[in-house]
Amino acid sequence: MLLVPGQHFFTEIAPVAAGTPSSELAARAALVLEGSAPFPDEQLARGHFAPAAGGGMVVFAGLRRKLVTDLEEWKAASFVVPDFATWLPAGRPQPAVVVLETAAAVTALDFFNDSLLPHRVVSRPVPAEPAGEEGIAAAREQVLARVVPGGRRVWRYRLGVVPCQQEGAKFFFDWQPLDGAPAAAPGLTVAQLWAMDLREPDFLRVKRRDFQWNRIAWNSLLAISATAVLLLIGELTLLGCGLLLAQRHAKIESQAPAARKTELNQGIANRLSAYIDRKPQPLEMLAYLNDLRPRSISFQKVSIENAAKLVIECATANPADVNEYEAALKKSPAIASAEVGNNRVRDGGGTFQLSVSFRPGFNPAKALAPEVPSAAGPVAPQTVPVQP
């Protein structure tokens, strides 16, 4: 970035109709200079600035043979613009005098009313003697004498050691406020910098084309680099997943014998459980029937028909209790059927045969026989022979 001191330029402020395309601003600036420039257009290094909000434009030009002190330096620079023009995007719509100070020149921007653009631009070089701050102060007095603030605020700004920094698609210039001036961070787009560039139009067309191709190439390189990084991350992720999967397979293989042994033990346990479920449980069923048995009835002999059916030879001292016992069995939720047969009545008692079928899924541990009230008290358990 090459900044040309402001004392080399004369400026014109021109109105611009609202809605004017940016492509027509260069022709408008050429017309303004054609009517006011003291030199032919081919001898001028010119440019212009138009704020994004519209409302006008600042046109500036200088004699090319006085500006181009080093032709190679101009060709190698990214942009060649006047120093004061880099502050123009920070213009405020209020009366003030903005003083811009650099080591080479001091420029005053004269703002009136509510315009975003200065009414006049006055610039003077910093003398060689006295140098430093004294020279800048002398140049400042000269420009203020020409502008005459007349009670308006005077805002001073000094260009920093690193004048320009690029952030994204904008270029920001380090105009540091002095004496309580408001902060200003004027940001210029690439299109605005091309419009302000002082080099020849033919050279600028080639330069802009190269800049656009370089930008496309740079963006493509960044996209390719980002894609390569993403692919590398994906490859590393896949490699890590492969290692984890290999470790998982190795662990599964190491646990396979134990798993097969567990599966074998589970099969044995399931078969045992099924055998136990199918196996007749006469003692548990007898215990359930005994809880319902009246005290006058006794079991003589038990035969097992199948896993859920018992045939019991019974004796009773009170034949009337037989019907009561049968009714109690039929009401029991665990009994599917209960039948009394071969009922023989004798003096002082009798015998009968009891056929009892339990419901499927009978679980002696969960089936609780209902309490049967008996005047004679609780029924004592019996020991009877069981025949399959």
Beta bridge partners of 106: 101, 124
Predicted pLDDT of residue 290:
87
| Residue 381: CA count within 13 A, CB half-sphere | 7
- For residue 388, pLDDT over 70 is answered with no
What number is the average pLDDT over the span 82-106? 90
Local confidence band at 278 (pLDDT 50, 70, 90 cut-offs):
low
Any bridge partners for residue 350, and if so which? Answer: 316, 345
CA distances from 119 to 14, 112, 326 (A): 10, 6, 123
Mean pLDDT of 339-366: 81
Of 258, 277, 264, 285, the residue nearest 355 (C-alpha): 285
Mean pLDDT of 379-387: 54
pLDDT digits (tens, 9 = 90+) for 284-296: 888 888 888 898 8
Where along the chain do its domains lie?
2-199, 204-231, 282-387
Instruction: Say which residue, 29 or 371, is predicted with more confidence.
Output: 29
How far apart are the C-alpha atoms of 226 and 222, rounded to whole Å?
6
User: What confidence score (pLDDT) does residue 214 get?
Assistant: 75
Residue 297, by phi and psi: left (phi above 0), alpha (psi -120 to 50) or beta? beta
Tens of pLDDT, residue by residue over 33-60, are 887 777 888 888 889 998 877 778 999 9
- 76: tokens are 């190698």
Q: How do residues 136-158 score in pLDDT, each as one tens digit?
A: 999 999 999 998 888 888 999 99
Find the distance separating the first CA and the last CA of the chain, reported in whole Å: 112
Ranges 155-159, 210-214, 331-335, most confident: 155-159
Percent of the chain with pLDDT over 70: 91
Q: What are phi and psi of 159, to 5 degrees?
A: -70, 130
What is the chain's percent helix, strand, coil content, to nearest 5?
A: 40, 30, 30
- The CATH number of 282-387, from 3.40.50.2000, 3.40.50.300, 3.30.1360.100, 3.30.230.10, is 3.30.1360.100
Q: pLDDT at position 355, please? A: 92
pLDDT(365) > 70? no
pLDDT > 60? residue 374: no
Say which amino acid occupies 271: R
Confidence of residue 383 (pLDDT cuts 50, 70, 90): low
Q: Is the overall model pTM greater than 0.85, yes or no? A: no
For residue 364, what pLDDT is reported?
57
Region 191-210: mean pLDDT is 86
If pLDDT is split at 50, 70 and 90, which confidence band does 281 have?
Answer: confident
Examine the pLDDT at 376 and tell me if it is beyond 50.
no
pLDDT the model gives residue 100? 93
- Supply 89's token pair: 């995007």
pLDDT at 274: 66
Which residue in 67, 65, 104 sits closest to 84, CA to CA?
104
Per-residue model confidence (pLDDT) at position 60: 92
Average pLDDT, the chain: 84
- Which residues have a Cβ under 8 Å from the Cβ of 272 and sit 6 or more positions away? none
- Residues 318 and 300 sit within 8 Å (Cβ to Cβ): no
Q: Beta partners for 107?
A: 100, 123
Q: What does the buried/exposed string (b/e) look like for 121-152 if buried means 16 or more CB atoms within 10 Å of the residue's CB? A: bbbbebeeeeeeeebbeebbebbbeebeeeee
Given a contact cutoff of 8 angstroms between Cβ atoms, the answer to whether 388 and 304 are in contact is: yes
pLDDT at 99: 93
Least confident of 67-71, 230-234, 289-293: 67-71
What is the C-alpha to C-alpha distance for residues 30 and 14, in angstroms, rounded to an integer? 11
Predicted pLDDT at 321? 87
Please, which pLDDT band fits residue 373 given cuts at 50, 70 and 90?
Answer: very low
Confidence of residue 313 (pLDDT cuts 50, 70, 90): very high
Q: What is the pLDDT of residue 377?
A: 46
Confidence category of residue 166, pLDDT binned at 50, 70, 90: confident
What gap in Å lies between CA 352 and CA 340, rounded to an integer?
Answer: 7
